[in-house]
A and B are shown apart, each in its own frame.
Chain A
């Protein structure tokens, strides 16, 4: 061994030992039984219906950007659920562990989790929610929507796209595995140094954290390359930059951030890895290391990462609000520039995460003002959405509710963000639950946008809508839950409550903490209705069937093909004439989806290589976490060999003849009601209004 390790190590199984399985902890055993049961039900269902081959052929080996996007979102949803359970556990621990008289259970002094276990839960909550829930969901959405919005057949590199998906999945799988074998990092999702150094984190937890993030961030970087190249190189004729839908613009901005920021994280984690595995001194306190170097480098990635998440959310709002306002987005140009300015400014503000480090006043003042400057384009965005609603005809379908909710969250998050941008204020609330409440306002904004996006684009991807009544119920319970959790949390911040407390010495805080627990209960209700909504909608999918233009007032290119979208996206590549092409075509009465002539389509072939690479990366991650050197060396060799072998395969594409495309289109049109595109179903309220609106006296 290269460094001194506490605990046993053998060449064959590294640090693995039976006592690394926490079978004595009923919480983890329960989670394990639940996971195994869920996996068994899934596997049993697939076996019973005889769909293993379907699963392999249509999903596991696919390179179709829509299916990859769906799988990204599924991974994200599973992890979102896990992250929510973690949140519920945090809240429950805190409500149980208030005051010196509070009882302890399961070996804890107070509450039901000892400090080290509790620390892992919130570290996992943060890492999961940001990197394994919200990031995959947003990447999935961009994967599905961006190629459609620019009229492309697929992403620029479909094979690379699949690799990105499986690497992200491996990261998520490693986090899940840490629950049942060994432990997860206890040092917060940011991995504070020198706490993450080997002497202070002697177990495998930090190693799990490092490798899960490292492997998935490779996937995210590859995804960023892919999306930028797709937007730059794959646009349909006529899709000039000034006609690019705003969601695609934000995808562009966000992936420029991803492409440049994630490598910094990779390098930073790599150096931390060297510290933990080889005993170097990059981020140690002694021997010439520099602990704040880690903090700087981490936030040089970490802050752009925040905007990496929020920009697609802004893009989603910019799609939903015009659709349900029945008019174009106000100030398109300003919106685009605001997105790019935010992306650029995200690089100049990282130090505001540690104003309390003791930097000089000029440094703090610079980063304070730079941080505030980000508020300008963000404020402009708020006003532009507001003026999109001016002289509109707003319908409050579920996606619009989420969008409006996100708008109000942005106002709250903006207010508190401007407080935190002032160092003198930050000295008082840094690391307090006030900060937690602030950034949860912002990530809830992202979550609201995601929920809106899912209900908005669901009919496009699956061909039927989600139940509106239940969807609205989910929304209102989310809102109520958020108010109940975060209003008390802001208040507790003013009382001086620090984040990450596993024990709370102030009995007087109990009532507010109890309110937060009630809020968690409301989220559970929302979750129940969410599951019910999906169940009901899938069950009655014929009733909820949607045509290509599912919301009747949509504007961009993705609504100009069938729902669900055929695997080749557009039978013939559309020619773009206007900024909101579909709205323009509807105005001109050019709503037929049938081209005059079909043509051959080139498509990439399915391949199992990305899945194999994923499996090997998992073995690599596992070997490195447990320091099983032979396994690590074997997996990395196998990865290199697999990549080289694949590069010799020149038979990666195939052609669908024009006649076959035409046959599929005609068949498909019978199913998804192609020909009535753009026309409102007879008697639909919105349709009547729209035609009335077209009369001159209404304008």
Chain B
């Protein structure tokens, strides 16, 4: 028995796809460095910002979020660094052993200093508050102003349904759906509607767009625009149970033309996604390798149907065997 079998044997129908051989996720197979090389690696990682995905936004929303982060840190450092220096200087100058500072055993009040120490943080908060307020509208998931004016043409609509523990992406206009793979055209506004069939997850593609909760029984929205074609990692950022660590998906941003070809290809596939087929795929499944699945002829209204079912009390129960003594 392989370890995989051991871990997931009690999962209902660990279908071939979830235990398949698709191991495409990795970049850099030589990840088993011997003892000493480790530290060197760490230093290298520290030196290059290549893997700091938050610093390499590929869309206006992620870029705005990074921009705000830089402003915030810069302002805060403006107060933190002087304070650190001040404290360090006091520690040095007024140390009892050999410090050279004068000793004033009863000095404990100065109105001038009090005024400064209350007003400086107040001013910082005022400035940061302004940027925070501005940022809230710029990247508002329901109506991000940073991409509102860039929307030329109709947006691509994607309905996202989180199950235990996979991502289902439905393209309602195109009547196609995918599992654990999101394909979108670059330079086009993408409009997401999100909900969950089981528990709460958080939808996140660090390089493209910040998080939004994906909650059962209610819809949320998110919008984004990809500026560079490429492949980006998306995943759930909120704990959703035993399969959470594997709840990832590839986001492929392609050209308009490629996207159209891809859609046409999927529309020709024989596998349909009806309401009852959804009930099959939504049962607890850990898709270890995020092997994508594709569906054509998605029964229309599936997204609303899932919300309605959950509201009526439908649950995809986690079997005891997947929890106890795993």
Which A residues fall within an 8 A CB radius of B?
6-7, 19, 22, 24-25, 98-101, 103-104, 107-109, 114-117, 119, 183, 186-188, 192-195, 197, 199-203, 205, 284-287, 291-292, 325-332, 334, 354, 356-358, 360-361, 364-365, 368-369, 372-373, 375-376, 379-380, 382-384, 386-396, 404, 407-408, 411, 414-415, 418-419, 421-432, 488, 491, 494-496, 498-512, 514-515, 686, 689, 693, 698-699
Contact = CB atoms under 8 A, between A and B. Distances in A.
Interface string B51-66: 1111100000010111
B33 interface: yes
B113 interface: yes
Nearest to B38: A514
20 contacts: A6-B319, A101-B31, A107-B3, A114-B326, A115-B7, A115-B245, A195-B239, A286-B311, A286-B313, A331-B108, A331-B113, A372-B125, A390-B94, A415-B80, A494-B53, A495-B54, A500-B239, A508-B51, A509-B51, A511-B33
Interface of B: 3-4, 6-8, 23, 25-29, 31-33, 38-39, 41-42, 44-46, 51-55, 62, 64-66, 68-69, 72-73, 76-77, 79-80, 83-84, 86-87, 90-91, 94-97, 99, 101-110, 113-114, 116-118, 120-122, 124-125, 128-129, 131-133, 135-142, 164, 196, 198-200, 202, 204, 206, 210-213, 215-217, 220-221, 233, 235-246, 248, 288-289, 310-320, 322-326
A649 B246 CA distance: 61
A107 B7 contact: yes
Contacts of B79: 379
B113 A387 contact: yes
A431 B238 CA distance: 7
A282 to B, nearest CB: 14
B323 A201 contact: yes
B47 to A, nearest CB: 11
A429 B80 contact: no
A389 B89 CA distance: 10
Contacts of B239: 119, 187-188, 192, 195, 499-500
Given A116-B326, A495-B51, A375 B33 contact: no
Contacts of A287: 311-313
Given A194-B200, A287-B313, A425-B69, A368 B45 contact: no
A693 B315 contact: no
B326 A431 contact: no
Contacts of A494: 52-55
A369 B8 contact: no
B45 A511 contact: yes
A512 B73 CA distance: 23
B66 to A, nearest CB: 8
A109 B288 contact: yes
A365 B103 contact: no
A88 B116 CA distance: 43
B105 to A, nearest CB: 5
Nearest to B6: A107
A379 B73 contact: no
A511 B3 contact: no
A502 B244 CA distance: 8
Contact of B210 (A24, A197, A356, A689): A356
